[in-house]
Amino acid sequence: MKMNKKFVAAFSVAALMLAITPTSPAFERHPEIRAAIDALHNAKEHLEHAAHDFRGHRVDAIHAIDEAERQLRICMEVD
């Protein structure tokens, strides 16, 4: 009977640890979309710190990045 109690206790601790462990990003449902969002964020940061405005095209590109990121987030939500 003691062996069973020890087994149940150990199993309970292991189950609790698994339950409270955060989900690893490696198991993300859409890693390609997450990578695209990250790449867009990086590109936006570069554009925001660019030395020139490129005759307004920099601002247009930033707006396009914002819209692309919005669309990608929608993709992740609707799946």
* Mean pLDDT across 10-22: 60
Instruction: Write out the two tokens for 30.
Output: 């859409």
Residue 24 has pLDDT above 60, yes or no: no
Q: What is the pLDDT of residue 28?
A: 83
- For 26-75, how does the pLDDT look when each residue is reduced to its tens digit (9 = 90+)? 678 899 999 999 999 999 999 999 999 999 999 999 999 999 999 999 99
Per-domain residue ranges of the chain:
2-78
41-44, long-range: CB within 8 Å, 24+ apart, which pairs?
Answer: 41/69
